[in-house]
Amino acid sequence: MDKLLIEGGLPLRGEATVSGAKNAALPMLTAALLTAEPVTFTNVPELNDIGTMLRLLAQMGVKVERQGGTVTLDASGLDQPVAPYEMVKTMRASILVLGPLVARMGEARVSLPGGCAIGARPVDQHIKGLSAMGAQISVEQGYVHAKCSRLSGARLFTDMVTVTGTENLMMAGCLAAGDTVIENAAREPEVVDLANCLVAMGAQISGAGTDVIRIRGVERLHGATHRIMPDRIETGTYLCAAAATGGDIRLTGTSASYLDVVIDKLMDAGCDIATERDAIRLKAPGRLTAVSIRTAPYPAFPTDMQAQFMAINAVADGTAIIRETIFENRFMHAVELIRLGADIRIDGNTAVVQGVAKLDGATVMATDLRASAGLVIAGLAAQGQTLVDRIYHLDRGYEGLERKLIALGARVRRVK
């Protein structure tokens, strides 16, 4: 299993380009299931999760063409509306095929994702919504089996804000008969990007980006070309890496408009941030000031940036309170950060981080994608060598991580 060896203590300096957003690309690739015409996506990041999704779609009969960051999907030959356990277990986002498959094929068999390292993560809201649209759903032998001649528009209300739940139901609504209204919808920028792509394919959607999304169902969708938005979590991760190391970096191919709260917090921590239309520059202070955060659905502070902020608080001046309200078990990086010398106490969904003057390199274990990002940031800030084990998590979500870090002056190396 690959590991990342980091020689810490060097400030990050220079420029890097942010990739397309994983969490926008994944639902968008499944949107291609909704039409028999080819759909082309550009700015698709080269990530293991994207590879998994393309293999899953190919297995269903979708023709996949990929050239660098451009992917064309042709679902005219779609004939196997099945997502098997072997694929779903490696990537929960596979559940995103459920809505498009029932909507276009009238049938889907999708393995239940089960739990994952950061919590139980059920998909009951996806199922509840599709049932309200008329799908007959049974759960047998670990698979969700959904059937329906044609979905009917309905008024849907999700019990909690769910990103992929909103996306699944929005895609299903596009081909349903009549109007669908999703209340308590997720407002994440990736939901808006997906809606823009669906509209380019002929869907009638309004309200994406607010908590009420309205969809007027159409008979069919057509092909389109869509550029995937920049990855706001990758952007935030590099900004934190620069902040933690006392660096000065400029990120291009991204936009501050998706990151208001993260940028505010970095400024509260003492960073100097200048934004351009499609670039962000961060200059870190001599020492960061601790900043407290509370995760919540967009536009509040993203849970996917929580681990990175725990890392920067570990070396900041003062005490930070970190409250995680989205996932029940998302502090596994804390014990690893403690191995590097961080002073962190956990009480339920709250972490109290008392900043220390310096961290010392050690071997740490990555447990999930964003936890790994937090460990890399801490390793870059620590004195001496840090070995991050199980970096396959990082390969799921960060395109060219070592390449970009090296371009920013970090001393990192992948070891087998």
The answer to whether residue 368 forms part of the interface with ligand UD1 (CB under 6 A) is no
Token couple for 207: 């309200």
Q: Toward ligand UD1, which CB reaches closer, 96 or 271?
A: 96
326 lies in the site for ligand UD1, by CB under 6 A: yes
The span of 124-132, 272-280, 281-289, 308-316 binding ligand UD1 (CB under 6 A) equals 124-132
For residues 16-55, which are near ligand UD1 according to CB under 6 A?
23, 26
Binding residue count for ligand UD1, defined by CB under 6 A: 22
Task: Tell me which residues in 88-107 interact with ligand UD1 (CB under 6 A).
Answer: 92-93
How far is it, in rounded angstroms, from Cα 375 to Cα 389? 10
Kindly indicate which of the ranges 35-43, 159-167, 254-262, 273-281 contains the residues binding ligand UD1, using the contact rule CB under 6 A: 159-167
Given candidates 164, 254, 308, 386, which one binds ligand UD1 under the rule CB under 6 A?
164
The DSSP line for 64-78 is EEEETTEEEEEGGG-
Q: Binding of ligand UD1 at residue 163 (CB under 6 A)? A: yes
- Which residue among 115, 122, 142, 178 contacts ligand UD1 (CB under 6 A)? 122
Over its C-alpha atoms, the chain yields an Rg (Å, rounded) of: 21
Residue 276: which H helix or E strand, with range?
Answer: strand 272-276
Pairing of strands 385-389, 363-365: parallel
Output 122 or 178, the one with its CB closest to ligand UD1: 122
CA distance 55 to 87: 9
CB 108 within 8 A of CB 60: no
**Distance (Å, whole) CA 41 – CA 155:** 31
CB-neighbour burial class of residue 380 (10 A; exposed 0-12, middle 13-18, buried 19+): buried
Closer to ligand UD1 by Cβ: residue 295 or 386: 295
d(CA 118, CA 36): 37
Q: Which of 13, 89, 121, 147 binds ligand UD1 (CB under 6 A)?
A: 121
Question: Which structure tokens are listed for 156?
Answer: 């849907």
Instruction: State the nearest-atom distance from the C-beta of 14 to ligand UD1, in Å.
Output: 28
Burial class of residue 155 (count of CB atoms within 10 Å of its CB; 0-12, 13-18, 19+): exposed
**Which tokens go with 274?**
């200048």
Nearer to ligand UD1, 12 or 156 (CB): 156
Interacting span for ligand UD1 (CB under 6 A) from 10-18, 76-84, 118-126, 270-278 = 118-126
Binders in 171-210 for ligand UD1, by CB under 6 A: 190
Q: Tokens 């190919």 belong to which residue?
A: 58
Q: How far is the CB of 373 from ligand UD1 (least distance, A)?
A: 12
Of 194 and 288, the one with the shorter C-beta distance to ligand UD1 is 194
CB atoms within 10 A of CB 375: 31
The closest of 253, 249, 252 to 272, measured between CA atoms, is 249
**Binding flag, residue 396, ligand UD1 (CB under 6 A):** no
Give min distance, CB of 208 to ligand UD1, in A. 15
Give the nearer residue to ligand UD1 in terms of CB position, either 114 or 270: 114
Binding-site member from 3, 126, 226, 396 for ligand UD1 (CB under 6 A): 126
Give the tokens for residue 216.
Answer: 């007027």
Residues in the chain: 416
Q: Which CB, 120 or 267, lies closer to ligand UD1?
A: 120
Query: Does residue 116 have an active-site annotation?
Result: yes
Closest CB 248 distance from ligand UD1, rounded Å:
29
Residue owning tokens 């709260």: 261
Residues near ligand UD1 (CB under 6 A): 23, 26, 92-93, 119-126, 160, 162-165, 190, 303-304, 326-327
Q: Supply the residues annotated as catalytic.
A: 116
